[in-house]
Amino acid sequence: MMAVAPPKLEKETEDSSLLPLVHDIIKCLDKDNQDVHAELAKLKAKIQEAREQISNMPGIDSSPLEQQQQLTTLREQVRTKNQLLQKYKGLCMFDVPKPS
């Protein structure tokens, strides 16, 4: 199984909420403001950016069944490795003096 490094997010702290943009559009409509087109363009750009982020997500091309199988496999690997760790901790193969 190949390990996939998570992609670095350029704007990790940026809010991806669309609600503030929708709120601004509604405010412009209430005031009969001419900035509605600019606010709609911002919303459209934000939606396009979200689509691009979603399409770049790792595993997006896998079906839910494939993702579930991969999750099951990874959980089994973790369980096996934890069992091995517990086994090797209990062996005491080396007499290492504990620091005082």
Task: Write a three-state SS string for the chain.
Answer: CCCCCCCCCCCCCCCCCCHHHHHHHHHHHHCCCCCHHHHHHHHHHHHHHHHHHHHCCCCCCCCHHHHHHHHHHHHHHHHHHHHHHHHHHHHCCCCCCCCC
Q: What is the pTM of this model?
A: 0.49
Mean pLDDT, all residues of the chain: 80
The confidence band for 95, taking pLDDT boundaries of 50, 70 and 90, is low
Q: Kindly state whether residues 40 and 25 are assigned to the same domain.
A: yes
Q: Kindly state whether residues 51 and 70 are assigned to the same domain.
A: no
Asked whether residue 99 is assigned to any structural domain, the reply reads no
The residue written with tokens 């009969």 in the block is 32
* Identity of residue 24: D
pLDDT at 21 over 60: yes
Instruction: Check residue 6 and give left, alpha or beta (phi > 0: left; psi -120 to 50: alpha).
Output: beta
pLDDT at 15 over 60: yes
Q: Kindly state whether residues 23 and 53 are assigned to the same domain.
A: yes
Give the domain range for residue 66.
62-91
Asked whether residue 100 is assigned to any structural domain, the reply reads no
Asked whether residue 96 is assigned to any structural domain, the reply reads no
Asked whether residue 12 is assigned to any structural domain, the reply reads no
Q: Kindly state whether residues 21 and 46 are assigned to the same domain.
A: yes
The total number of structural domains in the chain stands at: 2
Residue-level pLDDT at 73: 97
Residue-level pLDDT at 59: 83
At 33-66, the pLDDT tens digits run: 777 888 888 889 999 998 999 889 888 888 999 9
